[in-house]
């Protein structure tokens, strides 16, 4: 995990998407979650050492951005298309693919359930957490949404 600023951290040396978190005066906001369960477990311990995780923001509908949501018991925020994609993803197939990432992954996936976005937006939304403002703006790109 690289420290980008005094309160912004990002992981760029992992399989799948880059993920990270922002520390605020009222808790931590994670941006995307690890694809590998073992990376999610390590991130969970790191975040717990810095404060309370409040939210996860998922930035797109591909599984490498949201597989790790399941290891965190916090609300997830995402574009409505992310929720739709997750609802249409076969759980058993997804778990089977992720289990192949390494020898420690299958045990971590026992009882795995998706942690779906419970707060969604269509065009954009603003969220205030502590002394920080998070602007989520739908910018269609290489995804279907």
User: Residue 65's pLDDT is what?
Assistant: 95
What is the number of domains present in the chain? 1
* Structure-token match 């694809």, residue found: 35
- Asked whether residue 143 is assigned to any structural domain, the reply reads no
- Asked whether residue 106 is assigned to any structural domain, the reply reads yes
Question: Residue 98 belongs to what H/E stretch?
Answer: helix 91-99
User: Residue 55's pLDDT is what?
Assistant: 99
CB 89 within 8 A of CB 114: yes
Domain extent for 128: 2-137
Instruction: Give residue-wise pLDDT tens across range 13-53.
Output: 987 899 999 999 999 999 999 999 999 999 999 999 999 99
User: Residue 143's pLDDT is what?
Assistant: 57
- Asked whether residue 45 is assigned to any structural domain, the reply reads yes
- Asked whether residue 21 is assigned to any structural domain, the reply reads yes
User: Residue 144's pLDDT is what?
Assistant: 56
- Asked whether residue 142 is assigned to any structural domain, the reply reads no
CATH code where residue 45 lies: 3.60.15.10
- Asked whether residue 73 is assigned to any structural domain, the reply reads yes
- Asked whether residue 104 is assigned to any structural domain, the reply reads yes
User: Residue 139's pLDDT is what?
Assistant: 85
User: Residue 33's pLDDT is what?
Assistant: 98
Parts of the chain with a pLDDT under 50: none
Task: Using alpha carbons, select from 126, 136, 33 the residue that is nearest to residue 81.
Answer: 136
Task: Using alpha carbons, select from 96, 95, 60, 66 the residue that is nearest to residue 81.
Answer: 60
User: Residue 51's pLDDT is what?
Assistant: 97
- Asked whether residue 34 is assigned to any structural domain, the reply reads yes
């Amino acid at each position: 995990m690289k420290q980008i600023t005094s309160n912004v951290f990002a992981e760029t040396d992992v399989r799948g998407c880059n993920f990270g978190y922002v520390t605020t005066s009222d808790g931590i906001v994670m941006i995307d979650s690890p694809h590998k369960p073992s990376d999610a477990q390590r991130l969970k311990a790191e975040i717990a050492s810095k404060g309370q995780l409040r939210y996860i923001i998922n930035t797109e509908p591909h599984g490498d951005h949201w597989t790790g949501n399941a290891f965190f018991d916090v609300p997830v925020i995402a574009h409505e298309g992310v929720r739709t994609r997750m609802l249409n993803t076969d759980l058993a197939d997804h778990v089977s693919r992720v289990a192949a990432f390494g020898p420690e992954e299958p045990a971590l996936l026992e009882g795995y359930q998706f942690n779906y976005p419970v707060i969604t937006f269509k065009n954009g939304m603003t969220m205030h957490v502590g002394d920080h403002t998070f602007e989520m703006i739908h910018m269609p790109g290489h995804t279907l949404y």
